[in-house]
């Protein structure tokens, strides 16, 4: 998720990311890039919290499973 922020709102957006255990991938002057994994319910809740900051761009991949070697 790329979400808009200013100097005044950046800390609040980072707090939302920390609360939801999202990773901050990039910090720019007017936006943050965040990454979150989890259940659809968790992701929907995160997006509701981020929406007031302004979602600039979002990619949602859905469920992914990989086979691992034993």
CA pair distance 65, 35, nearest whole angstrom: 18
Residue 50 lies in a domain: yes
Residue 10 lies in a domain: yes
Determine if the pTM surpasses 0.85. Answer: no
CATH number of the structural domain spanning residue 41: 3.30.70.1150
Number of folded domains that form the chain: 1
Residue 36 lies in a domain: yes
Residue 68 pLDDT grade (very low, low, confident, very high; cuts 50, 70, 90): confident
Residue 65 lies in a domain: no
Residue 17 lies in a domain: yes
Share of the chain above pLDDT 90, in %: 83
Look up the domain containing 33 and give its range: 2-57
DSSP state, residue 3:
E
């Amino acid at each position: 998720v790329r979400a808009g922020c200013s100097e005044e709102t950046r800390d609040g957006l980072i707090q939302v990311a920390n609360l939801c255990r999202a990773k901050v991938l990039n910090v720019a002057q007017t936006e943050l890039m965040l990454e979150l994994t989890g259940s659809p319910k968790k992701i929907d809740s995160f997006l509701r919290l981020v929406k007031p900051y302004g979602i600039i761009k979002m990619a949602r991949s859905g469920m992914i499973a990989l086979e691992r070697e034993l």
